[in-house]
Structure 1
Amino acid sequence: MHEQPNRVQDFKDTMLFQQYNCFMFRELEQFDEELARYRASRQGKAAIPYDDFPRHAQVNEYIESIAQRYPDIVTLVTAGNSYDGRPIKYLKISTTNFEDPSKPIYFMDAMIHAREWVTTPVTLYAIHRLVEDLRNEDRDLLENIDWIIYPMVNPDGYEYSHDSERLWRRTRSTNPVDPSTCLGVDGNRNFDIAFNTVGVSSNPCSTTYPGVTPFSDVETVYIRDILHANLDRIQLYMNIHSHGNWILYGYGFNETLPPNAAQIHHVGATMGATIDALKLDLAPFYRVGNSAFLLYATSGSAQDYAQSIGVPFSYTLELPGYGFLFEAPPQFIGQINAETWEGIAASARLARLYYRARINN
């Protein structure tokens, strides 16, 4: 175990930390005011969860309604309950009831980090475009690919970030070694790949605390189980985060590359270029590459775990923040949804070609 220097505590011992807290308080107040104005401007319009930051219950209501209205192609699945007992649900979308082995599976999830509110709307918008608003140019995405769309990995942390602490990142589980200490683990450090070695902290109150053991939290167990249950056909796994305009791939714990790194980069770069063609001028261009090399080293990530067990294309997608960090104003949701959907579509089509080549050889 490599313990990181406790820079957070050092920071707290300075006046700069107090100034930072005051700055963040003002920033969050401004975010709340903008969100209130945004919602007021939409009063009288139909509530559309992918155009807002919906609460966990609203997310479940939406995907339940999709399953009820489109039973021929949509299956609602309850992965299980969160640590605090919230039902975690996701959708399987398929024209062939997931029974056609010639079709690859595209698996995406969001909100493993509770403060990254803009990630869940992207998954809900993808559901909308595949089911409610399927356009002729996208019909191949529904007919030739099966989809697993998991809108909210960490509902306990997400609800806590609404009710108590806007920038909360972790889950909300009790530490089994010391129940009196801080709650939760960093879900994206809790997977069984180079666990607890780099990019983590042994401090249970740290935002990057990985937990006592891999898969200590049920929220990561559910993702693991989906990956293994569909491993023969999952061609692409997309773990959606914010912020930063990055498309990252493994291995994040040591800058080594998977054997098919050229193909992974090809698909990722195609996705990034597609989004860049639609981006706002104030957003940077997407950068694509190894996560340890481009960003920083991490262990126990979902991206690396999926790659290590055999998913051919596994990515961390970091959505744009437009300079607002994790508090991208709601006015940007529509733009992020639209551009990201086109990137998802491009990556799905190209990954499918690689899948067809693989199964035909």
Structure 2
Amino acid sequence: MISQEKRDEFLDTLDRNGIEHYLHFSNVADVLDKHDKDVEFWRSRRNSRSFPFQDYLRYAEIEAYLERIAAQYPEIVTLVNAGLSYEGRNVKYLKISTTNFTDTSKPIYFMNAMIHAREWVTTPVAMYSIYRLVEEVRTNERDLLESTDWIIMPLVNPDGYEYSHTDDRLWRRTRSYNPAVSETCYGVDGNRNFNVSFNTIGVSSDPCSNTYPGVSPFSEVEMGYVRDVLHEYVDRMQVYLDIHSQGNYVLFAYGDDTLPPNAVELHHVGSVLGASIDVHKLPEALYYIVGNSALLMYGTSGTAQDYGQLIGVPFAYTIELPGHGYGHVVPPQYIEQIVEETWQGIVASARVSAIYYQSRN
């Protein structure tokens, strides 16, 4: 991403400071152009209306799928419109339950995707989870419906997601506008906007930065919708899975490198999640690494994972899906592999976390 004019100066600065570096893409624009063509070609060959998890769908297509599932399976699916995004798009999620959430003996598994707009491969995982829980329920997985209630929010940040399709493929933030802060830079990092150690670690005061947390916790209405689901069901919520890409990690609290009291149990369930994915991974793919987010990656504050843990969800995780060497620009050919292997991890983590729930209740 360095201009030719600045290239030598940039590399010399790295060398003088002993910073190791390597060339990943020689021309980012060419990589993004090829990605656009790959997606277009892939879509022309797929019937994404029948199998929406096989493609990078646009906002309207995702919303239509959620509406169709709720209409066709009203006995187990409830569609909830949490509210409007900053730019006026619906932020919807599904509640999936054989007892319409009335059986308080059942734990709740809540997953959301696409807090970060450029992480396109995250929403297909959420969509595939809906498919396997509702449309393609297999005999050996029926216990997932009988023993657990599910909440799935596939598209937390629809404004940023649409912008990443139309204007900037690598856009990460929301699309809110606060001219009192900046007249030129839009949005904040949604995964620094939660009210936990807000604006302390792993953030930038620059409103143009990808890690700018916003002027206050939950300044972003979309993050408020995630907060509201967490609070509404915290008494029964056993797992909260915030889906991101990329990096082959299962991460847990806290971003300041302190550990919750149940860190051993967190590591156990997280290891089950990661190991179950690894059984089904591609041979050349990396193995998942499980641990505290600050120790494995870097310090953070205001994250969804930490907030879920703080308010009382026993098992709150960030999962970083594989990039297969492409960073956030994962070719669509990898979608089916990623959604299937990740589903296996979700299944295993739901089962083992349910055992913890029953032992406490």
Q: What range is the shorter-chain TM-score in?
A: over 0.9
Contact 2:181 2:207 in 1 (8 A): no
Q: Answer yes or no: is 1:171 the counterpart of 2:158.
A: no
Paired position in structure 2 for 1:67: 70
How far off its partner does 1:178 sit? 2.8
Paired position in structure 1 for 2:60: 57
Paired position in structure 2 for 1:308: 310
Paired position in structure 2 for 1:194: 197
User: Structure 2 vs 1, CA of residues 214 and 176 (structure 1 numbering), >3 Å: closer, same or farther?
Assistant: farther
* Distance of 2:94 and 2:54 partners within structure 1: 19
What is the identity, as a one-letter code, of the residue corresponding to 2:303? Answer: S
Contact 1:86 1:155 in 2 (8 A): yes
Residue 175 of structure 1 aligns to a residue whose secondary structure is: coil
Match of 1:221 among 219, 224, 227: 224
* Distance of 2:49 and 2:74 partners within structure 1: 23
Match of 1:180 among 167, 179, 183: 183
How far off its partner does 1:148 sit? 0.3
How far off its partner does 1:14 sit? 2.5
Paired position in structure 1 for 2:163: 160
- Percent identity reads 58
Q: Answer yes or no: is 1:83 the counterpart of 2:86.
A: yes
Q: Answer yes or no: is 1:31 the counterpart of 2:35.
A: yes
Paired position in structure 2 for 1:297: 299
Within 5 Å, which residues of 2 pair with 1:114-263? 114-175=117-178, 177-252=180-255, 254-263=256-265
What is the identity, as a one-letter code, of the residue corresponding to 1:191? Answer: F
* Distance of 1:261 and 1:46 partners within structure 2: 42
Q: Answer yes or no: is 1:113 the counterpart of 2:116.
A: yes
Structure 1 runs of 4+ with >4 Å offset: 10-13, 16-22
Paired position in structure 1 for 2:7: 15
How far off its partner does 1:96 sit? 0.5
Provide, for residues 288-330 of structure 1, a one-character-per-residue CA deviation record: whole Å limited to 9, x for no partner.
0000000111100000000001000000000000000001100
* Distance of 2:4 and 2:110 partners within structure 1: 40
Contact 1:306 1:314 in 2 (8 A): yes
What is the identity, as a one-letter code, of the residue corresponding to 1:145? Answer: T
* Distance of 2:247 and 2:217 partners within structure 1: 27
How far off its partner does 1:205 sit? 0.4
What is the identity, as a one-letter code, of the residue corresponding to 2:130? Answer: I
How far off its partner does 1:100 sit? 0.7
* Distance of 1:323 and 1:225 partners within structure 2: 36
Mean Cα deviation higher: 19-28 or 240-249? 19-28
What is the identity, as a one-letter code, of the residue corresponding to 1:242? Answer: S
What is the identity, as a one-letter code, of the residue corresponding to 2:94? Answer: L
User: Structure 2 vs 1, CA of residues 46 and 230 (structure 1 numbering), >3 Å: closer, same or farther?
Assistant: closer
* Distance of 1:259 and 1:62 partners within structure 2: 40
* Distance of 1:331 and 1:302 partners within structure 2: 29
Within 5 Å, which residues of 2 pair with 1:267-286? 267-286=269-288
Q: Answer yes or no: is 1:356 the counterpart of 2:348.
A: no
What is the identity, as a one-letter code, of the residue corresponding to 1:95? Answer: T
Paired position in structure 2 for 1:3: none
Contact 1:175 1:181 in 2 (8 A): no
Contact 1:181 1:204 in 2 (8 A): no
How far off its partner does 1:12 sit? 10
Contact 1:271 1:347 in 2 (8 A): yes
Provide, for residues 264-301 of structure 1, a one-character-per-residue CA deviation record: whole Å limited to 9, x for no partner.
10000011111000000121000000000001111000
TM-score (norm 1): 0.93
* Distance of 1:287 and 1:73 partners within structure 2: 35
How far off its partner does 1:48 sit? 2.2
Contact 1:235 1:352 in 2 (8 A): yes
What stretches of structure 2 of length at least 5 have no aligned partner? 12-22
How far off its partner does 1:46 sit? 5.1
Q: Answer yes or no: is 1:318 the counterpart of 2:320.
A: yes
* Distance of 1:67 and 1:12 partners within structure 2: 52
Residue 27 of structure 2 aligns to a residue whose secondary structure is: helix
Contact 2:121 2:245 in 1 (8 A): yes
* Distance of 1:315 and 1:116 partners within structure 2: 17
* Distance of 2:282 and 2:25 partners within structure 1: 30
* Distance of 2:189 and 2:49 partners within structure 1: 35
* Distance of 2:182 and 2:314 partners within structure 1: 39
* Distance of 2:349 and 2:331 partners within structure 1: 27
Paired position in structure 1 for 2:14: none
Residue 299 of structure 1 aligns to a residue whose secondary structure is: coil
* Distance of 1:31 and 1:176 partners within structure 2: 33
What is the identity, as a one-letter code, of the residue corresponding to 1:330? Answer: P
Residue 142 of structure 2 aligns to a residue whose secondary structure is: helix
Contact 1:105 1:236 in 2 (8 A): yes
